[in-house]
Amino acid sequence: MNQNLEAIACEPHPIDPNGFNPNANIPYSCTTEHIRLAMNDFVDFLGFINQQLYGRGLERFESMLMPANFSSLVGEFMITSIPKYCSTIATNQYHNGHPDLIPAGMFPNNAVQYASEGIEVKASRYLRGWQGHNPEAIWLMVFVFDSNRPSDTVKNIQPKPFRFVKVYGAMLTKNDWSFSGRSANSRRTITASVNNSGYQKMIANWIYQYPSLP
Cα gap 96→70, rounded to integer Å:
18
What is the model's pLDDT at position 2? 63
pLDDT digits (tens, 9 = 90+) for 49-85: 999 999 999 999 999 999 999 999 999 999 999 999 9
Cα gap 144→163, rounded to integer Å:
9
CA distances from 47 to 1, 150, 161 (A): 19, 18, 9
What is the model's pLDDT at position 184? 46
Residue 41 forms part of a structural domain: yes
Q: Could you count the other beta carbons within 10 Å of the beta carbon of residue 129?
A: 11
* pLDDT classification of 181: cutoffs 50, 70, 90: low
According to DSSP, the β-strands at 206-209 and 163-172 are antiparallel
Assess whether pLDDT exceeds 90 at residue 185.
Answer: no
Residue 214 forms part of a structural domain: no
| 179 or 44, higher pLDDT | 44
Assess whether pLDDT exceeds 70 at residue 182.
Answer: no
Q: Say which CATH number the domain at 100 has.
A: 3.40.600
Structural domain for 83, as ranges: 3-209
Residue 42 forms part of a structural domain: yes
Residue 82 forms part of a structural domain: yes
Assess whether pLDDT exceeds 70 at residue 1.
Answer: no
Interior/surface letters 100-112, b for 16+ CB within 10 angstroms, e for the rest: bbbbbeebeebeb
Residue 107 forms part of a structural domain: yes
What is the model's pLDDT at position 188? 53
Residue 60 forms part of a structural domain: yes
SS3 33: helix
Residue 161 forms part of a structural domain: yes
Assess whether pLDDT exceeds 50 at residue 183.
Answer: no
Q: How many domains does the chain fold into?
A: 1
Confidence (pTM): 0.92
What is the model's pLDDT at position 129? 87
Q: Alpha helix locations (H) across 25-140?
A: 32-55, 61-64, 67-85
CA distances from 144 to 42, 109, 133 (A): 13, 30, 19
Residue 38 forms part of a structural domain: yes
* pLDDT classification of 131: cutoffs 50, 70, 90: confident
What is the model's pLDDT at position 125? 95
Dihedral of the CA atoms 191, 196, 202, 204 (nearest 10)? 180
Q: Residue 117's Cα: distance from chain center in Å?
A: 19
